[in-house]
């Protein structure tokens, strides 16, 4: 496994109703800073996005915010981060996040967070990248998503081995233990 330096965090632009979401986001930001992992994230100031950046910087960490121009123009950007990168489109934002990152952690969020996760997962499946991806499954938030992905394997739309392309962890230690043992292995995809 390659060395992990920069960690991209995908997460919601709201806090969500469960206080654990914010508590664990702040704990993750602090952990990443204390373990010298610069945070790469979507550049927003609201919700868990703002919290991951604020907690990492408060703990002395580096933060790289990446946001498209139209979201900055709506006043949603947190531009007081270590490095602020503006992109023309949402797709360019994801491309830049991939370039800047060595691993991905997905916190609870909404449709945009799901899209970021499934984009990185599908890109891993077709070997665009070989970087580890972890769901931080706080309070079982992602259980139904994982079950749906398992259903796609059971129904013959994805190889069972592709479930190993991501880590499903309930703790920060579980995430980094998963990163330490991650091996990007692709089976033959077209089985039926």
What CATH code is carried by the domain that includes residue 125? Answer: 3.40.50.450
Q: CA-CA distance, 127 to 58, in Å (whole number)?
A: 36
| CB atoms near residue 157 (< 10 Å) | 13
**What is the sign, positive or negative, of the torsion defined by CA atoms of 118, 123, 125, 131?**
negative
Q: What pLDDT, on a 0 to 100 scale, did the predictor assign at position 187? A: 84
- Contact, 65 vs 88, CB < 8 A? no
Model confidence at 60: pLDDT above 90:
yes
Q: What pLDDT, on a 0 to 100 scale, did the predictor assign at position 192? A: 72
Model confidence at 2: pLDDT above 70:
no
pLDDT-derived band at 189, boundaries 50, 70, 90 = confident
Q: Within a domain: residue 159?
A: yes
134 membership: H or E segment, kind and range:
strand 133-136
Model confidence at 143: pLDDT above 70:
yes
Average pLDDT score over residue span 160-164: 96
* Token pair 């931080």 in the structure block, residue: 136
Q: CA-CA distance, 23 to 5, in Å (whole number)?
A: 23
Residues 6+ apart with CB under 8 A from 164: 183, 185
Q: Within a domain: residue 2?
A: no
Q: Residue 143's domain spans which residues?
A: 7-180
Question: How high does pLDDT run on average in the chain?
Answer: 96
Q: CA-CA distance, 74 to 61, in Å (whole number)?
A: 27
Q: Within a domain: residue 185?
A: no
Query: How many folded domains does the chain comprise?
Result: 1
Tell me the pLDDT tens digit for each residue of 43-56.
999 999 999 999 99
Tell me the pLDDT tens digit for each residue of 28-40.
999 999 999 999 9
Q: Model-level pTM? A: 0.96
């Amino acid at each position: 496994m390659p060395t992990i330096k920069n960690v991209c965090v995908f997460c919601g632009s709201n806090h969500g109703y469960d206080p654990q979401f914010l508590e664990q986001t702040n704990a993750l930001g602090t952990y990443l800073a204390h373990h010298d992992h610069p945070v790469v994230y979507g550049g927003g100031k609201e919700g868990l996005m703002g919290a991951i950046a604020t907690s990492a910087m408060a703990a002395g960490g580096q933060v790289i915010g990446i946001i498209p121009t139209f979201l900055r123009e709506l006043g949603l950007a947190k531009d007081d981060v270590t490095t602020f990168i503006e992109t023309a489109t949402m797709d360019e934002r994801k491309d830049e996040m991939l370039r800047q990152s060595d691993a991905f952690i997905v916190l609870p969020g909404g449709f945009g967070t799901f899209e970021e996760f499934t984009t990185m997962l599908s890109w891993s499946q077709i070997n665009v990248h070989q970087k580890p991806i972890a769901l931080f499954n706080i309070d079982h938030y992602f259980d139904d998503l994982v079950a749906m992905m398992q259903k796609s394997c059971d129904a013959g739309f994805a190889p069972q081995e592709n479930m190993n392309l991501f880590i499903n962890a309930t703790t920060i230690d579980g995430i980094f233990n998963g990163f330490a043992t991650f091996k990007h292995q692709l089976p033959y995809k077209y089985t039926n």
